[in-house]
């Protein structure tokens, strides 16, 4: 039994390009992001991988990435479950702001704390801890059981929602997860043991 789980952060979005805090705002992919998503699909195809089900967030950039990957795999009609629990971290009042402008308004140290601490949320938004608290129950209830049954699962989502999963899978801590980065459009290929821990992990970099 394969117990395959693939995590992919969406390709570059328009707001990534503009250096804006995105969160639950809904910009689409740039041309570069479209290329990243297609390349991710091609790298998965080169390993001979196909999937039984896909999960994605309620946001356009993740859904578009998922469609492009499945298109490259020849699975454009694969069952795809959209779920708000997999959305990016909500940046609250920072959403839509240029990161340099935010530093000018609140100071470098404060913005760094909001971006890189585990449990300090920006005004009106979520901390990484808050994001973990909504992503992990959904993973445990809806995604992990499928993987352990032998279904091959792909999840196309966001930097912070996927960091919540990587934190558990890779055994990271609140002290180590904030510095962990996920590149856009780079699949993480996990194969799990029967006890849900990681057997192997492969990073499909360009």
pTM: 0.96
Domains and CATH numbers, the chain: 4-203 (3.40.50.1240)
Asked if pLDDT for residue 9 goes beyond 90, the answer is yes
pLDDT at 87 over 90: yes
**pLDDT of 179:** 83
Give the HSE-up count for residue 24: Cα atoms under 13 Å, Cβ half-sphere.
Answer: 15
Average pLDDT over residues 181-189: 96
Cα angle 49-51-56, degrees, rounded to a multiple of 5: 120
Residue 60 has pLDDT above 90, yes or no: yes
For 90-118, the pLDDT digits (tens) are 999 999 999 999 999 999 999 999 998 99
Q: Are strands 80-82 and 53-56 parallel, antiparallel or unpaired?
A: parallel
Q: Kindly list the catalytic residues.
A: 10, 88
Distance CA 149, CA 136 (A): 18
């Amino acid at each position: 039994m394969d117990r395959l789980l693939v995590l992919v952060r969406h390709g570059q979005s328009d707001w990534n390009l503009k250096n804006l805090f995105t969160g639950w705002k809904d910009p689409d992919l740039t041309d570069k992001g479209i290329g990243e998503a297609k390349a991710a699909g091609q790298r998965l195809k080169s390993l001979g991988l196909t999937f039984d089900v896909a999960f994605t967030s309620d946001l356009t950039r993740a859904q578009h990435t998922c469609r492009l990957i499945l298109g490259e795999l020849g699975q454009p009609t694969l069952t795809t479950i959209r779920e708000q629990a997999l959305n990016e971290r909500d940046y609250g009042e920072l959403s839509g702001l240029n990161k340099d402008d935010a530093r000018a308004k609140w100071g470098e140290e404060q913005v760094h704390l909001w971006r890189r601490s585990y449990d300090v949320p920006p005004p009106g938004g979520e901390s990484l801890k808050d994001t973990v608290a909504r992503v992990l129950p959904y993973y445990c209830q809806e995604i992990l059981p499928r993987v352990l049954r032998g279904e091959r699962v792909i999840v196309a989502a966001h930097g912070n929602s996927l960091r919540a999963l990587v934190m558990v899978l890779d055994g990271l801590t609140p002290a180590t997860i904030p510095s962990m980065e996920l590149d856009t459009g780079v699949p993480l290929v996990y194969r799990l043991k029967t006890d849900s821990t990681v057997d192997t992990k492969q990073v499909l970099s360009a």
